[in-house]
Amino acid sequence: MLLRTPLAALAALTLILPAGADDEGAALKALLEKHAPSIVTVRCVLKTEISVMGQSQDNESRANIPGVVVDASGLVMISGSQINGGKIREMLSGMVPPDQELSLKITPSELKVVIEGDEKQYEGFIAASDARLDLAFVQIEGLGDRALTAVDFTGDAQPEVGQHVVALTRLGEGFDYAPRFERGRVNGKIKKPRKAWTVDGGVEVAGLPVFGHDGATLGVMTLVSSGVKTESGGGMFGGMFGDDSDPPMITAVVPNKVVRGVIEQAKVRAVEVAKERAEGAAAPEGE
């Protein structure tokens, strides 16, 4: 039927536009509700010891680190630099003169894991880490027979340039650790130092999964350093941030295929570390 008046055309438009918005909103709501139980908060005390150019400083702070359950047993993946300073150390080392040494050590302790819908905070321990991908894994203890909801990284979907993507994270304790989503768009692809996809917008939290709007897991947002030496006189990076065209470090999405291999290794290592901890706890004092 031909629309004969501007008023009729406007009425039709208002009927059409909200439907698409409602569909998108419903999809985002469903994604958040499905995966929010897998997004946890790792609370810990971080002791930082840094020595550079003859000056030393120690500091102790508390941190709330978002993580994702990757195995029903309670294995949680987080950003490695949050607890060991790996990428931070790499960045800072390029800022000191060649004849100076830099030492940075971050030691986490008192690990507690906050799970959605549970008032108890569970003990945890560092089970494994992967410096190459800047990922670390925390194993939750005391779950008994309880199986947690884990994000599945076995799919073959991967990001595409131009695609809208979503990441989930949580607010802090003062806001009841409420889950929320962050949106962005894949705006580029890099081939080295490893295959990864860059994202614009608000998706920046390292160590967390990235999803398509259809709910498919695409990979993990992580820190990637170029490793390229500059001629600007500052070691590897020549400055904290470099220039806009060649930053020393970016956050980018590493695909499922790479991440799931690291997860499988972490699962094996978590069992080994748990056994070692149990044997150590059972050993008589003095041994």
Domain membership of residue 241 (yes or no) is yes
CATH number at residue 105: 2.40.10.120
Helical spans, DSSP H, in the chain = 6-35, 81-84, 86-93, 256-282
Separation of alpha carbons 110 and 272, rounded Å: 20
Pair 140, 121: CB distance under 8 Å = no
- Note the pLDDT of residue 225: 80
pLDDT in tens, 147-168: 999 999 999 999 999 999 999 9
Question: Minimal CA–CA distance to 264: which of 123, 86, 77, 79?
Answer: 77
Question: 165-179 burial, b if ≥16 CB within 10 A, otherwise e?
Answer: bbbbbbeeeeeebeb
Residue 26 lies in a domain: no
| Residue 125 domain-assigned (yes or no) | yes
In a domain, 5, yes or no: no
Question: Whole-prediction pTM value?
Answer: 0.83
Please report whether residue 15 resides in a domain.
no
- Look at 128 and 282; give whichever has higher pLDDT: 128
The answer as to whether 65 is a domain residue is yes
Residue type for 123, please? Answer: E
Domain that holds residue 74: 37-282
Instruction: Look over the chain and give the mean of its residue pLDDT values, rounded to a whole number.
Output: 83
φ/ψ region of 215 (left if φ > 0, alpha if ψ in -120 to 50, else beta) reads left
Q: How many domains does the chain have?
A: 1
Is there a domain that residue 7 lies in?
A: no
Q: Dihedrals φ, ψ of 285, to 5°?
A: -60, 140
Q: Which carries the bigger pLDDT value, residue 4 or residue 190?
A: 190
How many whole angstroms separate alpha carbon 89 and alpha carbon 214? Answer: 37
Mean pLDDT over 171-187 rounds to 94
pLDDT tens across 213-268, in order? 889 999 999 988 876 655 444 443 344 444 555 667 789 999 999 999 999 999 99
Does 18 fall in a domain?
no
